[in-house]
Structure 1
Amino acid sequence: MSKTIPELTLDNFDLVMQSKLPVLVDFWAPWCGPCRTLSPIVEQVAEEMSERITVAKCNVDENQDLAMKYGVMSIPTLVLFRDGAEVSRTVGAMPKPKLVAEIEKNL
């Protein structure tokens, strides 16, 4: 993968949300099996859709305040933001075509 996915924290979350492109945030944790399953799919989507969306990750163990602020109750949770507002949310691992379809319908 040629593009590094930024890791969100309280310090940089607002800066990433100011992106001109929609932002897909992957709320995850290293111990979460479904998160590890979904991670390579998210990385592929980040690479393939880099002209249309920004992708970022948020480790919920290290950023519990952000997880609480956005109501993340289960992981993995993927939240798509446009102009700083949530437009889509999915919970759980999913195949790449389903993730791409969810993003596409909310662009």
Structure 2
Amino acid sequence: MSTFNKLIQSNNIVLIDFTASWCGPCQVLAPILKEVKDELGDSLKVLKIDVDKNQLIATKFQVQGVPTLILYKEGKQVWRQSGLQSKQDLLKIIRSHTD
């Protein structure tokens, strides 16, 4: 957990993707997140967390369903959403917090 907290604190913008291998929408979201990361480059850090393998973290963040995305800026949560998101929506949300 301390490594996790350090990652959130040390990077300007961090997008956490709570996911599961059996989750259909999570599989659809994976390439979208890759495209978002490719477009934003080093300004964005993306962390994928498998809720089945990391139940403690999922519980701590009160993840009820997957995919759940949480955006952190300078260590503070600025956005959270469950469900599939489009590339355009994600870029708009992330950019609104990087200006």
Among 50, 59, 63, the residue aligned to 1:68: 59
- Partner deviation per Cα, 1:60-82 (whole Å, 9 max, x = no partner): 10111111111111110110011
Aligned length: 98
CA distance in 1, matches of 2:21, 2:62: 19
Higher helix share: 2
Do the aligned partners of 1:88 and 1:106 also contact (CA within 8 Å) in 2? no
Residue 5 (structure 1) aligns with: none
TM-score normalised by the chain length of structure 2: 0.89
Taking only the aligned residue pairs, the percentage that are identical comes to 39
Structure 2 CA distance, aligned partners of 1:76 and 1:20? 22
CA-atom RMSD in angstroms = 1.4
Point out where structure 1 has 5 or more consecutive residues left out of the alignment.
Answer: 1-9
Once superposed, which parts of structure 1, at least 4 consecutive aligned residues long, lie more than 6 Å away?
A: none
Unaligned runs of at least 5 residues, structure 2: none
| 1:79–1:90 contact (8 Å) kept in structure 2 | yes
C-alpha separation between the residues in 1 aligned to 2:37 and 2:20? Answer: 18
Quote how far apart the aligned CAs of 1:15 are: 2.5
Q: 1:11 to 1:20 in 2, by over 3 A?
A: closer
- Alignment counterpart, residue 57 of structure 1, candidates 48, 60, 73: 48
Pairing 1:95–2:66 present: no
